[in-house]
A and B are shown apart, each in its own frame.
Chain A
Amino acid sequence: MKSSVDTNLATRPSESGRVVSLKTPDTVSSTKRIKRSFRQIRAENVFRRTLIIVALAMVALVLGIMLTLIFQSTLSIKSSGLGYLWGKTWDPVRDIFGAYPFILGTLLTSFLALAISIPFSFAVAVFLGEYYPQGWFPNLLKNTVELIAAVPSVIYGFWGLAVLVPIVRSFETKIGVEPVGLGIFTSAIILAIMVIPYAASLGRSMIHMVPSNLKEAAYSLGATRWEVIRSVIFPYTKSGLFAGVLLSLGRALGETMAVTMVIGNTSLIPKSIFAPGNTMASVIANEFTEADHPVYLSALIELGLVLFLVTVVINMVGKRLVGKFTNE
């Protein structure tokens, strides 16, 4: 790092030096030049190495997080074994720790959220990417949609509790389920709102990248706008759209505060999508401060580890799929 700064300084006087070198014998300037190029090469090597070290450090960081989680959860892994994953009871008083209700809750909320948000985020992507790529209104819409991702999740939680829960409750009364308001359905709605921008912005930029000659060819054959979108744009951008969905999924899986505030927080296995439940992240947030004995704490950290591993798997799968789509 330091030597690269040196070369910056070293090159500056050399420009005036070059003027001088016209008058002096060739040998002097050439040794100077060789010295300079050595320095350049060294700086270049240092720079390349720094980049590699940083990239390695990135890997080390994530590995370090994983190892810390594994190390801190050994106690629970030893006491509960693999049964932890499908154990149906979570009872800190009797030291029975089963993560199944939370894993189920996490999957239910996240996929439900995706199902709700996909039509909206794709609509935004198509709207901005194809129908109205320019103008003040699409610009405003684009920026506003991106602002959705900026609102802190605590604030989503507050709002959900104050505004959304009563709405859901009256809806539940109408369709005849127990009118609780809090629950998996409500948190899925909140999550759906929160993850819209991720799939939308990636989808938009993908749709932007569709070559116009492809679209024009389709139009010239008499295709309507919808047909162009369906038969040209969607097939061309499907890997990008899918990557956006995965991005949304990853965000939904790990979301903590907003979900914690509206999911109802019970360790029972949810009976329907309107029932209260718990996600892995929300259990950690709820109980971490009160985990008063080592096994309990360790069981919570193991939950963090499971969540971590799930994100690893999703990302691996996502990469494979995206790679496949782009190769086709």
Chain B
Amino acid sequence: MKTLKSLALAAFAVAISGSMMITGCNGSGTAPKADSSANDNAMIGAGSTFDNPLFSKMFSEYNKLNGLKVNYQSIGSGGGIQQLTSKTVDFGASDAPLNGKQDSALSAPVIHIPVTAGAVVISYNLPDVKDTLMLTPDVLAKIYLGEIKKWNDAKIQAINKGVKLPATDIVVAHRSDGSGTTNIFTTYLTKVSKDWESKVGKGSSVNWPVGLGGKGNEGVAGSVKQTPGGIGYVELAYAVQNNMAFAKMQNKAGKFITPSIASVTAAANIDIPADAKVSLTNTDAAEGYPISGFSWVLIYKEQKYNDRTADKATKMLKLIQWMVHDGQQFSGPLNYAPLSDKAVSVADAQLKTVTYDGKPVLQ
């Protein structure tokens, strides 16, 4: 009985402190804003899941150099843009450049800084086919539109002469969650297929005509791996890490290209406009893999907003500068494509345009 009594008392004490806490929280609603600018050795970023492994490595290395604690959360490219728009993060990261709708939601101009490039590979599950499959843009679009339904379809057979293709159904898999990967893939299909452009279009999540959705790379890979006859698109790094079979794609120059770090960097070695908003899909580069894309860090051009200090702006720009130059050494081992020289120079030019209270931050 004594324990019960003391427990009851304890519960009651908790009750009082709890109700105090609630009122306390309501009362001090404005306090943390002033607090947040004082602690400047931390940076918050959010966005692309695709960038997350590379960023975790880069930021951990940068932490060893400078002691800056960068907290990057992979909530998705769209989420990153949303959070940057509502100014809850210091920088966003996205696999897709801002579109008109997103631009109009922003209160101030945002600049795109390319930090890495990646490829989307077409992975398939045909246990009896030993050779690497080759695909043309037209066939790929028709498969994803549901017009080609069997693996031994004459159109596939015509590209892969001498390969004995089975008569199994093609089970199409795609990402169910909105993702930059999907954006790169659908942008590509929109460029190469009129039918796709009119029926489906491009975006981070689209209304798929056929197929199964899987959540994340894992979900798609799971569907492909477990279903004989499956086909799906996943990130290069994921396919390599998991020893998945992936197809050679025919590029604009007519060559069949194996996706690799080299062929993605080649795809990115094109003329990049000053705002860096360029899609690498269906690249003109002769040795470039056609389904690839940049990933960008997004920051406000004018860094004086809310109560940010000049110090914080400088620290962030130094960080991004480091990522574009020294940080690139970490991409290769993680199956990301290092930036091409042209991309680096565009990134540098973009960084120089960032201002704090009207004055450039980097000299």
Contacts and interface: CB of A to CB of B under 8 A. Distances in A.
Physical interaction between A and B: yes
Nearest to B230: A180
Contact of B226 (A166, A267, A276): A166
Nearest to B213: A265
A2 B211 CA distance: 62
Given A1-B16, A286-B215, A294-B105, A266 B205 contact: no
Given A264-B213, A266-B212, A92 B203 contact: yes
A6 interface: no
Nearest to B80: A289
Contact of A179 (B82, B211, B213, B227): B227
Nearest to A157: B215
Q: How large is the interface on A (under 10, 10 to 19, 20 to 34, 35 or more residues)?
A: 35 or more
Interface in A246-278: 260-261, 264-268, 276, 278
A89 interface: yes
Contacts of B79: 288-290
Interface stretch (B172-180, B266-274, B297-305): B172-180
A169 B81 contact: no
A291 B176 contact: no
Interface in B159-195: 169, 171, 176-179
Contacts of B250: none
Contacts of A5: 16
Nearest to A275: B212
B137 interface: no
A276 to B, nearest CB: 5
26 contacts: A1-B19, A2-B16, A91-B206, A92-B206, A92-B207, A93-B206, A161-B222, A165-B226, A166-B226, A169-B226, A181-B226, A182-B212, A260-B176, A264-B212, A265-B176, A265-B215, A278-B176, A286-B205, A287-B178, A289-B78, A290-B177, A290-B178, A290-B204, A292-B99, A292-B102, A293-B105
A34 B196 CA distance: 86
A287 B182 CA distance: 12
Interface residues of B, number: 39
A267 B176 CA distance: 9
A30 B227 CA distance: 87
Given A180-B212, A260-B215, A290 B206 contact: no
A292 B214 contact: no
A297 B211 contact: no
B139 to A, nearest CB: 22
B177 A289 contact: yes
A289 B227 contact: no
Nearest to B207: A91
Contacts of B75: 289
A180 to B, nearest CB: 6
Counting chain B CB atoms within 10 Å of each CB, the highest count among A179, A267, A278, A286 belongs to A286
A290 B19 CA distance: 37
Interface in B195-226: 200-208, 211-215, 219, 222-223, 226
Interface of A: 1-2, 5, 89-94, 96, 161, 165-166, 169, 178-182, 260-261, 264-268, 276, 278, 285-294, 297
B77 interface: yes
Nearest to A291: B78
Contacts of B205: 92, 286-287, 290
Contact of B207 (A93, A179, A297): A93
A90 B102 CA distance: 20
4 closest Cβ contacts across the A-B interface?
A290-B178, A265-B213, A265-B176, A289-B76
A105 B232 CA distance: 24
B215 A261 contact: yes
A293 B204 CA distance: 11
B78 A265 contact: no
A260 B81 CA distance: 24
A279 to B, nearest CB: 12
Interface in B61-78: 75-78
B178 A266 contact: no
